[in-house]
Amino acid sequence: MIGLLRRWKTACGLSALVLMMVIGCVCAAAPVKVYMIEFARTDEAEWQRAVVERFHASQDDIQIELISLAGSSVSTKPLTMIAAGADLDISYHDPYKIIEWTHQGLTTDLNPYLARDRQAFAEFFEPLLNLYAVKGGRYGIPIDLQVQAFFYREDFFDEAGVPYPREGMTWDDIARISPHLVVQSTDGVISRYAIRFPQFWHWWSILWHHGAAFFDDEINPNRFVGDSLEMRQGLEYLRSMIHDRRVMSPRTMSGDTATNLVINGQVAMAIGNSLYMQQMVRLGHERPWNVTRLPYGPAGNNVAWFNSLGWFITSVAPQPQAAWEVIKYFSSEASMRLSVEMRGTLVPHRRVSQTVWMQQWEYPKDRRVFLDAIGTARGLPAVYGTGIDSIVNGVNAVADGAKPIEQVIADWQVQLNAWLRDRN
């Protein structure tokens, strides 16, 4: 009886040991969970979910949990989660916001990962990786690519007997031909302007073309340098095109650039980017339109600006290494190709953009100018918060005729130098 009891106890002990080992193995095999903000826009979210599905099928070590914005915004949700101590590994935003959050200590420097896995990004357009640079660190990885070009309605030019805009034209050329493209009634009411006041911040490149700059260093600004002849000339060009020549639309024109140009015919020309191209194509091309490079300015350049939504890893990420593996997968050639196929968007991957994206679209015929512009394009200065508000409000005041240029520049002197002091 005692022997049986001993054997029973031994068996129970062995069973318990085996059970513990099994549990241990199961626990060891449990995937690491990465928490990732989900895109708000439908097309972006569908692509994101498709990549997540592929990622899960490719390995068993990492599980991605997408976090819905749920009525919030990508500008507030990450901050709310971080403040609440909730798990969040990956989010996304525009460069200016990632840079702002970097200064607040909310993001992770990705340079160590990039140094280790540089080959994974060998096909990325190199300047894009600098969009999220702060004091030598890099804090974002580009998701898509938006680059500027010059849009125009071919039929309006044909009616006016004016040659189409072309590579090498200047902003003075645009001013010269613009009166021929304006349509107005006998009592002076304009139904079609030659060119749209640039939507969003697309006027920035016009200032560059005049040689203007706001800061001494666009990546790590330390000093305001916008009190210059070049800045005055750039702002005066915008002001005079609206108020003196009356060929550029008021800033307050309703509707978006694509609709104004392609559907309503309220303008004959406009600055936009590759996302605008996608929107215009979807509106149809029964009314013929095309694109070319931006005009040159007095400074001798036609630099376009580019932008890119970027992934970033939060500074409180529970699983930063696993999060990096997720970002790498989203940046792979296969994922970039899927982005073009599902969304039609231009991507930061050189080979995919030059092949898949070019083949994805049949219109406009000169769409390659977006790719041609990348070589000299640059990102907007690393300005955010009250700094960017001050710049935008000043340009808007000039465009609206609400303030003289000298007053706007004087305001910038005070406001932007104060922003620089607070930032540093």
pLDDT single digits (tens) 131-164? 999 999 999 999 999 999 999 999 999 999 999 9
265 and 339 both lie in a single domain: no
Residue tagged 């129970």 (tokens): 12
161 and 124 both lie in a single domain: no
291 and 394 both lie in a single domain: yes
Q: What is the dihedral of CA 406, 411, 413, 415, to 10 degrees?
A: -160
Could you tell me if residue 282 is inside a domain? Answer: yes
- pLDDT by residue, tens only, the chain of 424 residues: 444 444 444 444 544 444 444 344 444 569 999 999 999 999 999 999 999 999 999 999 999 999 999 889 999 999 999 999 999 999 999 999 999 999 999 999 999 999 999 999 999 998 999 999 999 999 999 999 999 999 999 999 999 999 999 999 999 999 999 999 999 999 999 999 999 999 999 999 999 999 999 999 988 899 999 999 999 999 999 999 999 999 999 999 999 999 999 999 999 999 999 999 999 999 987 899 999 999 999 999 999 999 999 999 999 999 999 999 999 999 999 999 999 999 999 999 999 999 999 999 999 999 999 999 999 999 999 999 999 999 999 999 999 999 999 999 999 999 999 999 998 7
Number of independent structural domains in the chain: 2
Of 304, 100, 93, 73, give the one whose Cα is nearest residue 201: 304
112 and 254 both lie in a single domain: no
Task: Give the per-residue pLDDT at 312.
Answer: 99
**In 170-228, alpha helices (H):** 171-177, 204-209
Whole-angstrom CA distances from 153 to 159, 273, 281 are 10, 16, 13
Buried b (16+ CB within 10 A) or exposed e, 359-394: ebbeebebbebbbbbbeebbbbbbbbeebbebbebb
21 token code pair: 């080992």
Share of the chain above pLDDT 70, in %: 93
- Which own/partner contact pairs does 109-115 have at CB distance under 8 Å and 24+ positions apart? 109/137, 109/138, 109/139, 110/137, 110/138, 110/139, 110/140, 110/141, 110/312, 110/313, 110/324, 111/136, 111/137, 111/138, 113/324, 114/138
Task: Give the per-residue pLDDT at 423.
Answer: 85
Alpha carbons 386 and 415: distance in angstroms, whole number:
8
**C-alpha angle 381-350-106 in degrees, rounded to nearest 5:** 40
Could you tell me if residue 25 is inside a domain? Answer: no
DSSP state of 260: I
What is the crossing angle of helices 405-423 and 386-400, to 10°?
A: 170
Alpha carbons 77 and 68: distance in angstroms, whole number:
9
399 and 262 both lie in a single domain: yes
DSSP state of 196: P
140 and 171 both lie in a single domain: no
Buried b (16+ CB within 10 A) or exposed e, 165-191: beeebebeebbebbeebbbeeeeeeee
Task: Give the per-residue pLDDT at 70.
Answer: 87
**Which 3 state secondary structure label does DSSP give 193?**
strand
CATH number at residue 59: 3.40.190.10
Q: Compute φ and ψ for 374, nearest 5 degrees.
A: -65, -35
188 and 300 both lie in a single domain: yes
Question: Which residues touch 178 (CB under 8 Å, ≥6 apart)?
Answer: 194, 195, 241, 245, 247, 248, 269
Task: Give the per-residue pLDDT at 71.
Answer: 86
56 and 188 both lie in a single domain: no
Could you tell me if residue 8 is inside a domain? Answer: no
Could you report the per-residue pLDDT of 288-324, keeping only the tens digit for each? 999 999 999 999 999 999 999 999 999 999 999 999 9
Parent domain of 138: 32-145+308-348
70 and 193 both lie in a single domain: no
Alpha carbons 302 and 295: distance in angstroms, whole number:
6
33: enclosing H helix or E strand: strand 32-37
Task: Give the per-residue pLDDT at 29.
Answer: 63
Whole-angstrom CA distances from 353 to 3, 248, 324 are 77, 33, 23
- For residue 296, list its beta bridge partners: 170
Q: Compute φ and ψ for 23, nearest 5 degrees.
A: -60, -40
